[in-house]
Amino acid sequence: MTALLAGKILWVLTVVGWYVIRYPFERRAKRKRVAATKRGAAETIRMLISFSGLGIVPGIFVASGWPRFASYPASWLQIAAGVVVMIVALVLFRLTHKALGRMWSVSLDIREQHELVTSGIYRRLRHPMYSAFWAMALAQALLLPNWIAGPAGLVGFGILFFSRIGPEERMMEETFGDAYRAYRTRTARIIPGVY
């Protein structure tokens, strides 16, 4: 097996694992009433951009090798680093779903009887699911030896992250008031003690 093929297979496994973790929450979320939402045109556009970078562009590369001119020789060391980051991403992703439970949502929704989660992985970080997405995007950059398809996830998710974090924190503050302000002062966004 070549390192290129191994990287592609591992990327597909990451996406499958991601979906397996998420699917039960997506199903449950459909049955839970939404009390308030901050979805809108901007949110739809950033979700599409993120999905393109983490799904469509790398998916086309894995299936067809396009854009071929941007490919470079894959090294096993790079693939190994990708696997490590991929495992971190999946473990983190699972922990965030476990902690959020019925509060989970794919977008900016507040459900009926929504409670602020401050335990589990949410004790020190207020956006650990975004930490997991950053790790997943980094894993993609390592697993796919292509200068466009690899970093596309970092760019696509980066756009979603930096444009959503403000509105999301405002929504949480509007909903939970002082409880959220206190929570925000004692937590970091995505990297404990750093940011």
Give the footprint of ligand SAH on this chain (CB under 6 A): 96, 100, 103, 105, 108-110, 116-117, 122, 126-130, 168
Least distance to ligand SAH, CB of residue 171, Å: 7
CA atoms within 13 A on the CB side of 194: 4
Residue among 6 and 117 whose Cβ is closer to ligand SAH: 117
Residue among 91 and 116 whose Cβ is closer to ligand SAH: 116
Least distance to ligand SAH, CB of residue 14, Å: 18
What is the distance between the alpha carbons of residues 124 and 175, in angstroms, rounded to a whole number?
20
Q: How far is CA 194 from CA 71, 86, 137, 190, 191, in A?
A: 34, 22, 20, 8, 5
Number of residues in the chain: 195
Q: Which amino acid is at 160?
A: L
Cβ(79)–Cβ(139) below 8 Å:
no
Q: Phi first, then psi: give them for residue 132, nearest 5 degrees.
A: -65, -40
Q: Phi first, then psi: give them for residue 150, nearest 5 degrees.
A: -65, -65
Residue among 105 and 140 whose Cβ is closer to ligand SAH: 105
Least distance to ligand SAH, CB of residue 17, Å: 18
Least distance to ligand SAH, CB of residue 37, Å: 8
Residue among 61 and 161 whose Cβ is closer to ligand SAH: 161
Residue among 53 and 128 whose Cβ is closer to ligand SAH: 128
What is the distance between the alpha carbons of residues 9 and 14, in angstroms, rounded to a whole number?
9
Cβ(137)–Cβ(153) below 8 Å:
yes
Residue among 128 and 150 whose Cβ is closer to ligand SAH: 128
Least distance to ligand SAH, CB of residue 110, Å: 5
Least distance to ligand SAH, CB of residue 98, Å: 12
For ligand SAH, the nearest residue by Cβ is: 129
